């Protein structure tokens, strides 16, 4: 009996759990949200960015509608204020995000005031400084060694194009759709049938070799233009080529409605979180 009374007294002395719970104030809730937003903004600004693939120049490695998380740190110039970050130079075979080095009227977009936009592109890095490059029947040969073509669209008798597949046998010109500056300076970089990549420059090509405006058309990409490399595909949604390049407000709202209606049916679930190689 005494034991029972003792247990009752102890239970009465313990405070109820509701008495020690502390509710979060509105100010604390707002502060928590702001903290998350600041961290997210820092990551998206300095460490990683998302990019969407608008064209088929990298098929079938990348598809129109692939949404990529891009690492902006690894290929960036090293800095003393982030000593623990692993930096490295771009390597042959990397998939790279970079700013297009030239503006092509009628192809590239402009701002509302007509200022040219230097479009971020995604291509495969084919040649690093000092490399000797040429293509033979669609096969890339670097420093005398034929490169594996498993990731690239094959060249056949039906799609063979001398300018694209035996580059640089046919020099770039207005007839090939190349930029004027590249056509004028092109001969300075050709030696014994090879294109020699100069210091500080890189040669890029799309995996869809016959449907890719790349370094064959507008030349080398400066080191400073390289943004980073895609890490993985965080979402892929079926879309037609050019859909993500539309700028009209009504077109954007129509596309948002389409995505909302077809999110589950048109999402390519098998490509979710696919690592880019």
- Domain boundaries, given as residue ranges, for the chain: 52-275
Q: What is the mean pLDDT of residues 152-173?
A: 93
In eight-state DSSP terms, residue 22 is -
**Cα 37 → chain centroid:** 23
Instruction: Give the tens place of pLDDT for each residue, 50-69.
Output: 788 888 899 989 999 999 99
- The mean pLDDT value for 82-107 works out to 83
Query: Measured on CA atoms in the order 37, 270, 210, 252, is the torsion positive or negative?
Result: negative
Residue 136 has pLDDT above 90, yes or no: yes
**Res 27: pLDDT:** 58
Q: What is the reported pLDDT for 265?
A: 94
Highest mean pLDDT: which range of 34-48, 75-89, 195-209: 195-209
Q: Rounded to whole angstroms, what are the CA distances from 17 to 21, 50, 54, 113?
A: 7, 45, 56, 63
Between residues 110 and 84, the one the model is more confident about: 110
Flag whether pLDDT at 117 surpasses 80: no
Q: What is the CA radius of gyration of the chain?
A: 27
Residue 13 — very low, low, confident or very high, per pLDDT cuts 50/70/90?
low
* Percent of the chain residues past pLDDT 70, beyond the cut: 77
Mean pLDDT of 66-92: 78
User: What was the pLDDT predicted at 140?
Assistant: 95
Least confident of 104-108, 181-185, 186-190: 104-108
pLDDT at 130: 97
Residue 195 has pLDDT above 70, yes or no: yes
Extract the runs of DSSP E, i.e. beta strands, from 78-173: 95-99, 120-127, 132-136, 139-142, 145-146
Pairing relationship of beta strands 221-222 and 226-236 according to DSSP bridges? unpaired
- Give the C-alpha separation, 255 to 245, whole Å: 11
Average pLDDT over residues 179-188: 95
User: Is 138 a residue whose pLDDT tops 50?
Assistant: yes
Give me the CATH topology for the region 52-275.
Umud Fragment, subunit A (2.10.109)
């Amino acid at each position: 009996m005494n034991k029972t009374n003792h247990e009752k007294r102890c239970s009465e002395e313990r405070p109820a759990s509701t008495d020690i719970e502390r509710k979060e104030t509105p100010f604390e809730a707002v502060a928590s949200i702001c903290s998350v937003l600041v961290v997210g903004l820092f990551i998206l600004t300095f460490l990683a960015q998302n990019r969407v693939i608008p064209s088929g120049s990298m098929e079938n490695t990348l598809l129109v509608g692939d949404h990529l998380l891009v690492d902006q740190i690894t290929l960036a110039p090293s800095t003393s204020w982030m000593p623990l970050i692993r930096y490295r130079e771009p390597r042959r075979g990397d998939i790279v995000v970079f700013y297009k080095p030239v503006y092509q009227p009628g192809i590239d977009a402009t701002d509302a005031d007509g200022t040219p936009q230097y479009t971020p592109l995604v291509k495969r890095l084919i040649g690093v400084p000092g490399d000797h490059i040429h293509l033979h029947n669609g096969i890339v040969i670097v420093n005398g060694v034929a490169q594996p073509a498993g990731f690239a669209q094959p060249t056949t008798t039906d799609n063979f194009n001398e300018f694209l597949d035996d580059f640089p046998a046919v020099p770039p010109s207005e007839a090939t759709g190349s930029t004027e500056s590249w056509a004028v300076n092109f001969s300075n970089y050709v030696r014994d049938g090879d294109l020699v990549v100069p210091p500080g420059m890189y040669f890029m090509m799309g995996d869809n070799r016959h449907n890719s405006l790349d370094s064959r058309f507008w030349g080398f990409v400066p080191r400073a233009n390289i943004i980073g490399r895609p890490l993985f595909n965080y979402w892929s949604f079926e879309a037609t080529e050019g859909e993500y390049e539309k700028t009209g407000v009504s077109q954007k709202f129509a596309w948002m409605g389409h995505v909302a209606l077809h999110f589950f049916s048109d999402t390519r679930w098998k490509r979710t979180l696919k690592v880019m190689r």
